[in-house]
A = this chain, B = another copy of it.
Amino acid sequence: MKRIQTIEWQKNKIKIIDQTKLPQKLLYIYIKDIKTLWQAIKQMKIRGAPALGIAGALGIYLGIKDIEAKNFKEFKERLDKVARYLFACRPTARNLFYGIERMYNVAVGNKDKSVLKIKELILEEAKKMIEEEKDSCYKIASYGARLIKDKDRVLTICNAGILATLDYGTALGIIYKARQEGKRLRVFACETRPLLQGSRLTAWELKQKGIDVTVICDNMAATLMQQGKIDKVITGADRIAANGDVANKIGTYNLAILAKFHRIPFYVAAPITTFDRRIKSGKDIPIEERDKKEVITLLGKIRIAPCNVKVFNPAFDVTPNNLITAIITDKGIIPPKNIRDTLSAKAKGAPRWGHPSD
């Protein structure tokens, strides 16, 4: 099977899979300016928290690589503008901001160097981040696979696989690793309305990898659990607050309640880069509300409700920490109550992430 490469730096451009075209077509597109990147992120041609982290990082480089600045002050003015522009694209996923902030900090931390050198360092850092994110996925997968038993039937939502990351995936990475270890598995994929990442992306990706997958509509998960057909729920995350509350694709909170009711373990898989220690609890995570067209049409093509009807279309929801069995990270499997400690330990060794508006 050909390798699936969600996002990479190639030919001085950002190369991504246009995920709105799947499962019909595996189409790669090249992005050479940040306006096109912004649109691609907004339209979810690229999505998934870790992949958005890289999009943010490469986006910064794309936005500053051709800047002609006489000094750092001039350079920073332009950098600020690019960072703020990309920051405003989607409000919920932590990693997008992390990627932007990290590149920003490289610039600020090297302000005594030449503009040319700073540009080089930013590209280097983005490439380093790509490798780190890949490594995170492998670690998440290795930790998570320990929880998987032979013949487990795992329910997931949205896409937390290769298409959401640099390689391997978070929730689905665990599936791939468990499978490599010889465990037999069955995955149930919630289709994930309105944009159907579960049926369009997860089912496609799992088929490519030869994993047994069954698609269900989002409202069918409860029945599967009632019938004793689900052993575990594993989802990704878009942002995790300091208290372990998790923002993830709309429908995640629903699954967490169902899992609790049916006494099924509920796991979240995410790299440490998805944690946001500046956010105390889930209540403070900004939730993106998207265009009503996503709900009153089917992928913009068929109208399925009266045009002038009201719509509520939050792209994410917040699952409180008490519904989460554990968060599977690249630093180990963490029960939500221990998240504060993990974040503090990390904070000690790492510089405080800057913020373009700081």
A: which residues have CB within 8 A of B? Answer: 23-24, 157, 188, 190-194, 196, 199-200, 203-204, 207, 212-224, 226, 250-251, 253-254, 257-258, 260-261, 295-296, 298-299, 301-306, 308-314, 317-318
In the complex, chain B residues whose CB is within 8 Å of the CB of A213: 309-310
Contact B23 A203 (CB under 8 A): no
In the complex, chain B residues whose CB is within 8 Å of the CB of A219: 157, 190, 192-193, 218-219, 250-251, 254
List the B residue with the shortest CB-CB distance to A261. Answer: B257
List the B residue with the shortest CB-CB distance to A312. Answer: B216
Contact A258 B250 (CB under 8 A): no
Determine how many copies of this chain the complex contains. 2
Given contacts A213-B309, A257-B261, 6 further A-B contacts (CB under 8 A): A188-B312, A191-B304, A215-B309, A217-B251, A223-B254, A226-B253
Residue with the greatest number of chain B CB neighbours at <10 A, chosen from A218, A224, A261, A308: A218
In the complex, chain B residues whose CB is within 8 Å of the CB of A196: 304
Contact A303 B23 (CB under 8 A): yes
In the complex, chain B residues whose CB is within 8 Å of the CB of A199: 295-296, 304-305, 309
Question: In whole angstroms, what is the CA distance A251 to B216 when docked?
Answer: 12
A188-B312, A217-B218 known; A204+B257 contact, CB < 8 A:
no
In the complex, chain B residues whose CB is within 8 Å of the CB of A261: 257, 260-261
Question: In whole angstroms, what is the CA distance A250 to B191 when docked?
Answer: 15
Q: What DSSP secondary structure best describes chain A's contact surface?
A: mixed
Question: In whole angstroms, what is the CA distance A220 to B207 when docked?
Answer: 28
Question: In whole angstroms, what is the CA distance A203 to B312 when docked?
Answer: 13
List the B residue with the shortest CB-CB distance to A192. Answer: B219
Q: Find A254's partner among B191, B221, B302, B305 (CB 8 Å cutoff).
A: B221
Q: Find A193's partner among B218, B254, B296 (CB 8 Å cutoff).
A: B218
Contact B305 A302 (CB under 8 A): no
Contact A23 B304 (CB under 8 A): yes
Contact B250 A203 (CB under 8 A): no
List the B residue with the shortest CB-CB distance to A223. Answer: B317
Question: In whole angstroms, what is the CA distance A157 to B200 when docked?
Answer: 25
Contact B212 A253 (CB under 8 A): no
Question: In whole angstroms, what is the CA distance A303 to B304 when docked?
Answer: 16
Contact B306 A207 (CB under 8 A): yes
In the complex, chain B residues whose CB is within 8 Å of the CB of A314: 220, 223
Question: In whole angstroms, what is the CA distance A296 to B191 when docked?
Answer: 9
List the B residue with the shortest CB-CB distance to A303. Answer: B24
Residue with the greatest number of chain B CB neighbours at <10 A, chosen from A218, A221, A305, A309: A305
Contact A250 B220 (CB under 8 A): yes
Contact A312 B220 (CB under 8 A): yes
